[in-house]
Structure 1
Amino acid sequence: MTFSIVGRCAETGQLGIAISSSSIAVGARCPWVRGGIGAVSTQNITLPALGPEILDLLEQGASASEALDKALTTHGFSQFRQVTVIDHHGATALFTGSEALGLHNAVAGEQCVAAGNLLSSPQVIEAMVAAFEGSAGEALPDRLLAAMNAAMAAGGEAGPVHSAAMSVVSDLLWPIVDLRVDWAEHDPIGELGELWTAYRPQMQDYITRALDPTKAPSYGVPGDE
């Protein structure tokens, strides 16, 4: 039903997540990122509260494993959860409960963790990690999308996917990338890639506009001089 990757760029310290699901609006429930703290994917039978709670625990000094264990214990029903975590140092943690749906897998790699359930095969997740590791040196959003495309090339989910999302944070208080395809009949990951292609040349401009409006570039819309 869902596959995802959380990752960190060792060069910039950026953290991010990319995720896709057969369910609608996966980006509204599953991906959680916080600049300088970490990234979390909470999936399978999703409990959105796990994301911010794990990030809070990381911010308070817990390790990735400690934060994951404490959050799962607090809420119970852990047998239904699949959760992955990466902190701002690149340390990782992962958990898949005994009631995870269908074929499932979770793999930690270098500065990343990928996981999924209701997969066409466990090798889908291994392909994601290999793609992320093999694209070192590229921008983090490109590496996350490379992992998602590798997952689809390896068979993806057992059924069609309909939504996708990607979020990346830096040292700012808001995401520098936060893109979502809440529903698509075909290829939401491809649509997500098109959104990134459109957004990439404007990303720094939006950061500049926020931090120093006197240097804001004009986009030629009414009132925007």
Structure 2
Amino acid sequence: MTFSVVARCAETGQLGIAISSSSIAVGARCPWLRPGVGAVASQNITLPSLGPQVLDVLEQGMAASEALGAVLAGQEHREYRQVTVIDSQGRTAHYSGAQTLGIHDAVSGEQCVAAGNMLANRAVISAMVRAFEHASGHLAERLLAAMHAGQAEGGEAGPVHSAALVVVDDLPWPIVNLRVDWADTDPIGGLDQLWQAYRPQLQDYLDRALNPHLAPGYAVPGDDR
């Protein structure tokens, strides 16, 4: 039903999540990130509130494994949850409850953790971790490389319909927040196309927010720059 990768860039400190699902609008429920704190993917039988709860505990200074354990300890239906966490230091944690659907797995790597359920096979998640570790470039590109690797290894047992990519830096808002909420085929490919279109404009949008007088023209009627 879902596979995802949660990661940190060791050079920039950026945190990111890429995720896909057979369900509609996975990006609306599953990825949770807080700049300078951590990132959490809450999936399987999704409880969205787990994301903010784990981030709140991380913000208090706990490591990823401690924060995840503390939050899950108070959850009545934790056997239905699959959760992955990375903190601001790159430490990871993951949990897959006894009721996680179908073939499932979770694997931690260097500055990353990937997990999935209803998978075509267990090799999917290890392939994602390897791909992230060996990829280069912007964190978003490394996350997408992991998603493509998982899909190439078999991905989900059934069709995938939605995907999302979120990256945070040191600003209060995500610097990348792209979603394919529904596609009949290849939402991961669609997400990659969105990133390729957005990447050349990323800095422009940051400039418009932080230094409007330095921002490039908007290419709309009435803008004479």
Are residue 125 (structure 1) and residue 125 (structure 2) matched?
yes
Cα separation, partners in 2 of 1:94 and 1:205, compared to 1, 3 Å: same
4+ runs deviating over 3 angstroms: none
Q: CA deviation at 1:74?
A: 2.0
Match of 2:84 in 1: 84
Match of 1:5 in 2: 5
Match of 1:206 in 2: 205
Match of 1:150 in 2: 149
What letter matches 1:6 in structure 2?
Answer: V
Q: 1:29-62 CA deviation, whole Å, 9 max, x = no partner?
A: 0000111111100000000000011111111111
More moved, 167-176 vs 63-72: 63-72
* Cα RMSD after superposing both structures: 0.8
Q: Distance in 2 between matches of 1:70 and 1:29?
A: 21
2:48 aligns to what SS in structure 1? coil
Q: Distance in 2 between matches of 1:178 and 1:13?
A: 17
Q: Distance in 1 between matches of 2:181 and 2:71?
A: 27
Scaled by the length of structure 1, what TM-score is found? 0.98
Q: Distance in 2 between matches of 1:114 and 1:182?
A: 21
Map 1:50-129; keep pairs closer than 5 Å: 50-129=50-129
What letter matches 2:219 in structure 1?
Answer: G
What letter matches 2:130 in structure 1?
Answer: A
Scaled by the length of structure 2, what TM-score is found? 0.98
Q: 1:60-94 CA deviation, whole Å, 9 max, x = no partner?
A: 11111111112112222110000000001000010
Map 1:172-191; keep pairs closer than 5 Å: 172-191=171-190
Gaps of 5+ in 1: none
Gaps of 5+ in 2: none
Match of 2:33 in 1: 33
Q: CA deviation at 1:222?
A: 2.5
More moved, 208-217 vs 40-49: 208-217
What letter matches 1:181 in structure 2?
Answer: V
What letter matches 2:163 in structure 1?
Answer: A
More moved, 207-216 vs 22-31: 207-216
Match of 1:140 in 2: 139
Q: Distance in 2 between matches of 1:157 and 1:216?
A: 42
Q: Distance in 1 between matches of 2:163 and 2:7?
A: 16
Q: Distance in 2 between matches of 1:25 and 1:151?
A: 19
Q: Distance in 2 between matches of 1:93 and 1:150?
A: 21
